[in-house]
Amino acid sequence: MKLELKGLTKRFKDVTALDNVDLCLEKPGIYGLLGRNGAGKTTMLNIITARISASEGTVTLDGEPVFDSDSKLGCMHLMSEVNYLDTDLRFKEAVAYAKQSYGDKFDSDSAMRYAHAFKLEGSKKLGKLSTGYKSIYKCCLALAMDTEFVFFDEPVLGLDANHRDLFYRLLLDSYQRKEKVVVISTHLIEEAASMLEHFIIIASGRILMNLDSEQMSSYATAVSGPRDAVEALATRHSVISRVSLGGLETAYIKGIVETDDPKLSVCAVDPQRLFIELTRNEEERV
């Protein structure tokens, strides 16, 4: 099943949250949607799942518009911080409700298994749960979805380190139970990186990069050493950013860079560092 975004634009009063976005998601896999606060991640996910409408552009599934199509929307699920569930709903009831709406595309047994692993109290109302457990409640439902597309918008917000670890492992369980397109938007890049096959980076409402994990790891090289030696090498390449400490400089250079200069040390750049260097504001250079 092919999900396509074409020329997607969303304007709020005086802000353009999404600016002419084209994106295609088809191959099952775990995709990371990365972007700074206000970059447009949530807006994009909300438009895809028809929670809000676009100002311009289209979202189609296998060529047909998603908006207003129950059968198309039934192929997708979005877990997000915003509550669209009734706060009086107990987890057990939510599971029964999801089964009723999604049928074969929801696995009740897995939902209960995930809830058990998190020690989520099935008989407590959603509204009565702590912030962390509210997220867990929604995560457990989303993890049990076998829809072709499952979107997680900041799923680990408010979860402690153990619960985040558990969530990631259950996400892999969920994915291997039934392969699907899983998109996870997160700020915790370091924690999620090893699970991601694909990185979609958005900045100021636009897709900045769309790379698989191998392209991502060879996207940039960090070169460190005495400033003049680094500069001599940097002038021959495209530099993403520079950080200096006294006479010591590190340049983040596009592509794979090699050097024989023994004064220089060269290393690969991990996804989180690359993200930071690519999306850093001038004001943040303190």
Site string for another protein, 96-135 (x = CB under 8 A): ----------------------------------------
Window of 97-105, 151-159, 170-178, 227-235 that interacts with another protein by CB under 8 A:
170-178
Identity of the residue, 52 or 267, whose beta carbon is nearer to another protein in the bound complex: 267
CB atoms inside a 10 Å sphere around CB 62? 12
Contact residue for another protein among 133, 137, 168, 219 (CB under 8 A): 168
Phi-psi label, residue 123: left if phi above 0, alpha if psi -120 to 50, beta otherwise: alpha
Q: How far apart are CA 200 and CA 141, in angstroms?
A: 24
Min dist CB 70 to another protein, Å, is: 32
Q: How far apart are CA 48 and CA 66, in angstroms?
A: 8
Q: How far apart are CA 111 and CA 101, in angstroms?
A: 15
**Which residues, 254 to 273, sit near another protein by CB under 8 A?**
262, 267-272
On whether the CB atoms of residues 102 and 144 are closer than 8 A, the answer is no
Window of 6-14, 37-45, 119-127, 164-172 that interacts with another protein by CB under 8 A:
164-172
Cα four-point dihedral sign 170, 172, 176, 179: positive
Min dist CB 169 to another protein, Å, is: 5
Contact residue for another protein among 194, 235, 238, 281 (CB under 8 A): 194
Give the three-class secondary structure for 195.
helix
- Going by C-beta distance under 8 Å and a sequence separation of 6 or more, which residues neighbour residue 216? 199, 271, 274
The encoded tokens of residue 271 equal 């996804």
Identity of the residue, 81 or 197, whose beta carbon is nearer to another protein in the bound complex: 197
Identity of the residue, 151 or 175, whose beta carbon is nearer to another protein in the bound complex: 175
Identity of the residue, 206 or 273, whose beta carbon is nearer to another protein in the bound complex: 273
Residues found near another protein in the complex (CB under 8 A): 29-30, 165, 168-169, 172-173, 175-176, 190, 193-197, 213-214, 217, 262, 267-272
